[in-house]
Amino acid sequence: MKGALTRLHTAVFIWGFTGVLGRAISLNEGWLVWWRMFITAISLWILFYFLGSIRKISLRDFFKIAAVGTVLSLHWLTFYGSIKYANVSIALTCLSTTGLLSAVIEPLFFRRRINLYELVLGVFALAGIALIYATNLSFSTGIYVGLISAVLTVLVSVMNKKLIDGYAPETITLYQLTGGFLGLSILMPFYNHLFPSVQSIPQHFDWLWLIILSWCCTILTFMLYINALKKVSAFTANLTLTLEPVYGIILAFIIYHENTTLSHYFFLGFSLILVAVFLQMFRLIQEQRKLPVTVIVFQYYKP
């Protein structure tokens, strides 16, 4: 169990580097995600081939999985767009509202009644975002894009819950990232027309950062995460994932000194969001103790 928890926290800590690497790469958000998905998908096909982990799926199921992968690619695109338009701290702060947004969005998809307590916490978190927005107007575009990213990752989670059963996580991951790459490739000409970029090929250290982003922050963390889940519950994993924005923001402060460019109200707003997130997790812990068995669907992909 101790080893599993170590692997889990290692994966979450490495995920904290994704925003830092995104800021270091000189490509715009569209090409950054395209190259990341290209390198990751190719690497996974090669890796799973040698491991004998490639499983055939029906064309219908592939299109279902590819659709989720395309939404995932848009989530990554808007996440890195938020970093480019603002900074790592702003993007991760917006992403930290994901758990609370899911408490409101998921009932709409599964036709459940919205819990009033969760709704209040959601308003509490939005107050934190509003405070950050009002006192950091230079980052307003990044905040808008970051909130879209948070909504998209909730949609990925919801769509994953509606996905077909019977496939191993490795199979879902392989085809979801492959489908996401193909879907983004179709969309890239339109995106590049709306947001033209003179640079579409990685330069110099961009290759190194993209390889680290693909191999370490995507493939390695996926394997650590899945391996950890063999010993720890999905609930414990989801609880640990709430630390990712905290790790990422601390790393951005250390590496880019972003704390010097943010107003004091940013920390107050982020504190409001964290309080709401931890209250929500405390509530889930209380509910978990009351249930003999709880099935929690989790997602494997982080920004």
Q: Within a domain: residue 12? A: yes
Is the distance from CB of 161 to CB of 297 less than 8 angstroms? yes
Q: Within a domain: residue 211? A: yes
User: In the chain, how many domains are there?
Assistant: 1
Q: Within a domain: residue 302? A: no
| Residue range of the domain that includes 223 | 2-290
Q: Measuring CA to CA, which residue among 113, 75, 111 is closest to residue 95?
A: 75
pLDDT at position 294: 41
Q: Within a domain: residue 299? A: no
Q: Within a domain: residue 240? A: yes
pLDDT at position 297: 42
Q: Within a domain: residue 295? A: no
Q: Measuring CA to CA, which residue among 90, 74, 68, 69 is closest to residue 19?
A: 90
Q: Within a domain: residue 212? A: yes
Average pLDDT per block of 10 residues along the chain, 303 residues long:
83 93 96 98 96 92 94 97 96 88 78 76 83 90 95 88 75 94 96 92 95 95 85 71 88 94 89 83 67 46 67
CB atoms within 10 A of CB 178: 20
- Say whether 5 sits in a helix, a strand or coil: helix
Burial of 235 (0-12, 13-18, 19+ CB in 10 A): middle
Q: How far apart are CA 268 and CA 273, in angstroms?
A: 9
Q: Within a domain: residue 109? A: yes
